Amino acid sequence: MQRRRKLGRGVAIVGAGMSKFGMFKDKDSRDLFVEAYNEMLSSVDKGVDPRDIDALYLGNFTNDFFMHQGHWGPIISDLIGLAPKPATRTEGACASSALSFREGIFAIASGFYDMVLVAGVEEMSKCTTEEVTEGLSLALDEAYEGKVGFTFPGVFAATATAYMEKYKGATPDHLKMVSIKSHNNARFNPKAQFNASVRDIMNSRVERAKKKGQPVPTWRDEMDFLHDLSVNPMVAWPLQVFDCCPISDGGSCMLLVAEEIAKNFTNNPIYVIGIGQGSGRALHTKDDLTYFEATRYAAKEAYESSGLTPKDIQFSEVHDCFSIAEVIHTEDLGFFKPGEGYKAVEEGLTRLDGPMPINTSGGLKCKGHPVGATGLAQLYEVWQQLRGEAGERRVPKKDLRIGAAHNLGGTGGTCSFNILERR
């Protein structure tokens, strides 16, 4: 019988920060990290002396390619005066900073450290779209996926096609519903790259046409707008522009401490109660494109370590690099049965005011996806929600205690799932 995995020592989050996500000509990776780091310091209610930080774990996917600069751990450590204390870089494609979070947890749970800084950063916008596509494609299995011409829009288009073939009721319109929901959430997130609803975007296009004396579009609603290929062109069928996350720059970080000292820093710590990580196979060895093995394994590990079930999770951030990904991940995490994730979207179950809110931040789709910073940015949203600091996008539940974050890397090769609790 497999034993229940659990941490040998409790871990709590006592501070967190995130830069604004977007495309910034006048900011580099150092600027983005410092923006997140300064917010983290100010968020520690009772204050913290940075000199007490024992180590840094930094997630970064491919600034080596994007910025021609590797070895980011000691660079960031030196930037904030942490050197000569240890700095370790973690890489798991889009799950890179979720891995830094996991390593930081283990460092404290082992008893070796009492306080660690976990962070992520990525700078993508200084490259062309073609260069970004090439850089991200380093996370593909080059021998079997890259050489036959796959890029990530193609990977998830194939996933969407397989899903709609297997579950006949699912259509491209369900993917559009995901995007509409995400934009509705993101309009309340001041740090989101796209903080406007689809209706807002639609209305701005109408007003722009009027001012320019051009023919005024006659879209009936958001769905009609998203069906218009002139404003929402096809990328890889059935995925259109509004189904895809943007190129982004950004930084994120969290301060982790041993549970027994958490109240020294804040009266409202958020506790890590479940962690999970899984690995997956490349596309050519998968028997079914409609689920992610790594997600299912990570979820199983996190639920076992926390003693919880999917029904106990009150809201979650999931890795919606493309709209179909959100649908599938909600099934793999156990929130909905296989083949019913698209129905949940249609029925409004994943909306902010629904029974299982998904991607309250706007998700990768709207918040942005600076790949090395994404995992911790998702956890930052959960941290804000549980502390009651999410403003107008706060999940409207009376006793909000349990939230989770799911992060995927590559074509499903790396997955992290973490469960947080407010006590």
b/e map of 227-261 (b: 16 or more CB within 10 Å)? Answer: eeeebbeebbebbbebbbbbbbbbbbbbbbbbbee
- The Cα–Cα gap between 391 and 361 comes to 11
* Chain segment 159-179, per-residue pLDDT in tens: 999 999 999 999 999 999 999
pLDDT at 4: 73
pLDDT score at 265: 98
CA 406/CA 327 separation, integer angstroms: 13
β-strand pairing of 87-90 with 414-422: unpaired
- Tell which residue, 384, 385, 417, 369, has the closest CA to residue 93: 369
Which one from 245, 369, 406, 415 is the annotated catalytic residue?
Answer: 369
| Arithmetic mean of pLDDT, 147-165 | 96
- pLDDT classification of 2: cutoffs 50, 70, 90: low
Residues 6 or more apart whose Cβ sits within 8 Å of residue 208: none
Q: What is the pLDDT of residues 318-342, one digit of tens each?
A: 999 999 999 999 999 999 999 999 9
Q: What is residue 96's predicted lDDT score, i.e. its pLDDT?
A: 98
- pLDDT tens-place string over residues 40-51: 999 999 999 999
Residue 68 among the catalytic residues: no
Over residues 290-311, the mean pLDDT reads 97
Q: What per-residue confidence (pLDDT) applies to 5?
A: 81
Please give the single-letter amino acid code of residue 297.
Y
Q: DSSP characters for 32-94?
A: HHHHHHHHHHHH-TT---GGG--EEEEE-SSHHHHTS---HHHHHHHHTT-TTS-EEEE-BTB
How far apart (Å, rounded) are the C-alpha atoms in residues 377 and 188? 16
Q: Which residues of 172-184 are buried (b: 16+ CB within 10 A; e: fewer)?
A: bebbbbbbbbbbb
Query: In terms of DSSP bridges, do strands 55-59 and 87-90 run parallel, antiparallel, or are they unpaired?
Result: parallel
Is the peptide bond prior to 396 cis by the omega test (within 30 degrees of 0)? no
Q: Given 94, 245, 253, 415, which residue is catalytic?
A: 94
In the DSSP assignment, the letter for residue 217 is P
Tokens of 421: 């609790």
Verdict on whether the full-model pTM lies above 0.95: yes
* pLDDT for 226: 98
Average pLDDT of the residues in 265-290: 96
Annotation says 415 is catalytic: no
